[in-house]
Amino acid sequence: MPEKILEMKNLVKTYIMGEEEQMVLKGIDLDINRGDFLSVLGPSGSGKSTLMNIIGCLDVPTSGTYYLSGELIRDLPEVDLSHIRNREIGFIFQQFQLLPRLSAQKNVELPLIYAGVPEKERQARSAHILERVGLVDKMNNRPNQLSGGQQQRVAIARALVTEPTILLADEPTGALDQQTGHQIMALFKELYQEGKTIVMITHDADVAKNGSRIVRIVDGNLSEGVYNA
């Protein structure tokens, strides 16, 4: 039996807009097993960013249940959510979100600093993971000394360095040219083949096809898609 690491049941998210209540997620049911590469495909305004924020514990549902690694997320205080984000989620953003004054290695070390990992261990782990993404020779470079693809590899290394339960990628090729985007997707496939669990949010159907499984979200409703070979 596959190990289920994420489970959502009848998950609803509403926002108050003036005097009106807007339902952005409308009863989402979603399970993710360890080792899945899930693409969440949807157009702008579909609710995919809200779903991503809830998966990443940046937001909480209005109703319904969300279990991550067996823990009920909905009613946790922010301090507990921040610990879960650091421990369970490796974030990869469209615009990389690297600190410009820090080297590639120091950027990768940041989650380990927040986790209280000693300096020597941080340095060893960050160097190892930068080697894994092919950037060991760029460890001392700052972001403005790297190409877009290299910056995204640093961001991927930063997401991997804490050995999170889920890699959560938001439009990871959106700021890259097509060739570089293909290279980043090749790296994602390698990580998937190594057993990493990946959730990728995208509006691009061609990018979504890189996943082993695709779900579609439209107007806050999620529908199961296809399993790729």
Domain ranges (residues) in the chain: 36-60+89-227
Residue whose C-alpha is closest to residue 95's, from 175, 3, 38? 175
Residue type, 62: T
**Which pLDDT score, from 0 to 100, does residue 17 have?**
82
Pairing relationship of beta strands 198-202 and 37-41 according to DSSP bridges: parallel
Q: What is the DSSP string of 7-32?
A: EEEEEEEEEEETTEEEEEEEEEEEEE
- The radius of gyration of the chain's CA atoms, rounded to the nearest angstrom, is 18
pLDDT in tens, the chain (229 residues): 789 999 999 999 999 888 888 999 999 999 999 999 999 999 988 999 999 999 999 999 999 999 999 999 888 889 999 989 988 999 999 889 999 999 999 999 999 998 899 999 999 999 999 999 999 999 999 999 999 999 999 999 999 999 999 999 999 999 899 999 999 999 999 999 999 999 999 999 999 999 999 999 999 999 876 555 4
CA distances from 204 to 70, 172, 200 (A): 31, 11, 11
**Which pLDDT score, from 0 to 100, does residue 229 have?**
43
3.40.50.170, 3.30.750.200, 3.40.50.300, 3.40.50.720: CATH of 36-60+89-227: 3.40.50.300
Residue whose C-alpha is closest to residue 142's, from 93, 184, 105, 110? 105
Helix (H/G/I), strand (E/B), else coil: 123: helix
**Which pLDDT score, from 0 to 100, does residue 7 have?**
96
